[in-house]
Amino acid sequence: MAPHADGAATSSTSGNNDVPARFHASSTDSAIAAENEYAAHNYHPLPVVFARGQGIHVWDPEGRQYMDFLSAYSAVNQGHCHPELVKALADQAARLTLSSRAFYNDVFPRWAEKVRAVFGFDMVLPMNTGAEAVETAIKIARKWAYKVKGVPQGKALVFSVQDNFHGRTMTAISLSTDPESRDNYGPYVPNIGAYSPSTGKAIRYNNIADLEEVLEAHGKETAAFIVEPIQGEAGVVVPDDDYLSKAHALCKKHNVLLICDEIQTGIGRTGRMLCSEWSGIKPDMVTLGKAISGGMYPVSAVLARRDVMLVVEPGTHGSTYGGNPLGCAVSMRALEIMEEEDLTAQAERLGWIFRESIIAFKSPIIQTVRGKGLLNAIVIDESATSGRTAWDFCVLLKEKGVLVSQNQRIVPWSSAFPGLFFFFFSFFLFFFFSFFLFFPSGKLGREEEVTRPKRGGRQEMR
């Protein structure tokens, strides 16, 4: 018999008695079984099912409570189901949800003004998902290269770096060097990627000499260089303090647009509204997504200078849902909450406490900790864990009520930071140190032992 996820949600997990019970799986096991049977197998999640969320906490269908330290890959920086975001969503949903861009609506222009005020860029182009924002930025850069820079038609180049993650659309995987994202999906989009056309060498992240070499050889035909201020999917890799500023200078020298992909690093996650602010630069373009709507509704954006953005002409790019009033209302409120609750400064402060506390703990199991603000990773030394892997670490923490994710040996840590989060953060550090005392001997259930992801398996952090 096929698995069936239907069933009544208990009042302890539904959180809203008006939500029809048929929308919710009755148990963790039935939800996982039905997803495995009927949905594509393009993820390998931890065996926990979210049924309700509030702030830093989530509950499964059985009512078990967890602390969420992944925050939907930094999409719920304001916390799960922030009441002000729920209200903004409900209020606007009752008024107007969609106009398309065939007509004006009364919310989108206010949102555009808000984005301009918060981030300081001349213009914004709205989309829905992070990958769409990346695709849009590449399109704009190419058109700018042809119309403004004078690159011959069909010759514009866009460079990325090794181990990047910009999504999993065809353009994004063409930028990528990750075999898991690329294999058996070719042929790829031409003239974009992380390799030098003349030498075939990869452009390494945090290696300014590699970028200089490729721009010296191909700068005249190059439209843009796209880079993450911190590489999230690669394991929260933080570059040298001057890497972005030197890359910015090289791009200026060769009249190349610098695109910073801030879909995960933006909206306060690293202790600045944009992570690139740490380098004292203003990129030519920025892509945003995830927490720009607080995890309530898909909203993404490309920010750019006026002269760059205005190469886009009516009818040449768009989205039915891009700039819709519902998403814009939620996004405006999400940005206001970042300001009202001082979450950006809180991320900087708590992130520093977290890293310094981990370093001071001096556990032989921890190889290193790295990050900025509340985007952090712990690298596990598996030679000191009696055969336990980073996946085992995540499963054992899940059994103790704390949720994180892993990437090979690397445990990426990022956390929601609602207003009262400091209490939870202090509690977590105490719990974390206690946990590491018994981690090498911690017991796993049989199912969790056999469902480890294959070595090299990567979880999406976009």
Q: 245: part of which helix (H) or strand (E)?
A: helix 243-253
Within 13 Å and on the Cβ side, how many CA atoms surround 118?
27
- CA–CA gap between residue 399 and residue 48 (Å, rounded): 10
290 assigned to active site: yes
The catalytic position among 261, 284, 354, 439 is 261
User: Residues 285, 232, 44, 182: is their CA dihedral positive or negative?
Assistant: positive
With a CB cutoff of 8 Å and minimum separation 6, the contacts of 340 are none
Cα 52 from chain centroid? 21
261 assigned to active site: yes
Residue 411 φ then ψ, to 5°: -105, 100
For residues 8-20, one letter each, b for 16 or more C-beta atoms within 10 angstroms of the residue's C-beta and e for the rest, the string is: ebeeebbeeeeee
Residue among 240, 289, 246 nearest 269 (CA): 289
Residue among 174, 224, 226, 223 nearest 205 (CA): 226
With a CB cutoff of 8 Å and minimum separation 6, the contacts of 314 are none
The token pair at 171 is: 């353009």
The catalytic position among 69, 108, 165, 354 is 165
Sheet arrangement for strand 222-227: 123-127, 300-304, 285-288, 257-261, 222-227, 157-159, 192-193
The catalytic position among 108, 143, 290, 393 is 290
Residue among 335, 303, 302 nearest 319 (CA): 302
With a CB cutoff of 8 Å and minimum separation 6, the contacts of 145 are 151, 156, 221, 222, 223, 224
What does the H/E/C string look like for 125-178? EEECCHHHHHHHHHHHHHHHHHHHHCCCCCCCEEECCCCCCCCCCHHHHHHCCC
User: For the chain, what's the residue count?
Assistant: 462
Residue among 80, 76, 78, 85 nearest 66 (CA): 80
Residues annotated catalytic, as ranges: 165, 261, 290
